[in-house]
Amino acid sequence: MGKIKKLPLKIQQKLIDSFIQYVIESVMEAFSRLKRCNPTGRSIMLKDLKFLKQRIEDLVKTWGFKMSFDSYFSLIMNYVNAWYYGCDDLYSFLFDNNIEYKYWLGISNTSPIFNDLPRRQRKDFTQKVEDKYYSDFEKIISNLSEDK
């Protein structure tokens, strides 16, 4: 039998990076689907994320890699904390970080700060957010049609 060749280092790192990205997206998807949450639950989410990050970094070190996953975990930790944001900060967070629409729904459905707004203010803010998502979507479609 022949010797099994190792994958090049760059490919191994890319595989690890893709795996971590998939894990983070899966966790964010799960968090966004929550129907109810409270501050204790959000606190536990953050502790779980810190633990997950540490365990992944430890595992990757045992494979002989020194990689940082701060950017992935920073985004999801900020997503968990966005639950506490007021309208202006939430709007900035959503669009400065290109947060997908479905994740916005996860925050809007459970955030006590957002849901405690007067009905008219909540409706106006929701419309502002949806208008922005819609205009961004139109730009993408426009760019795709120009590329043809």
**Nearest by Cα to 87 from 43, 46, 41, 124:** 124
pLDDT in tens, 21-73: 999 999 999 999 998 889 999 999 999 999 999 999 998 888 888 888 898 89
CA–CA separation, 42 and 17 (whole Å): 26
Average pLDDT over residues 5-17: 85
Q: Measuring CA to CA, which residue among 55, 116, 103 is closest to residue 76?
A: 103
Could you tell me if 68 and 14 are in contact, meaning their C-beta atoms sit under 8 angstroms apart? no
CA separation for the pair 105, 90 (Å, rounded) = 12
Residue 23: per-residue pLDDT:
93
User: Which residues lie below 8 Å from residue 114, measured CB to CB, with a gap of 6+?
Assistant: 87, 90, 107, 108, 122, 125
pTM score = 0.80
Nearest of 54, 49, 58 to residue 30 by alpha carbon = 49
CB crowding 108-118: b at 16 or more within 10 Å, else e: bebbeebeebe
Tell me what the mean pLDDT of segment 65-86 comes to: 90
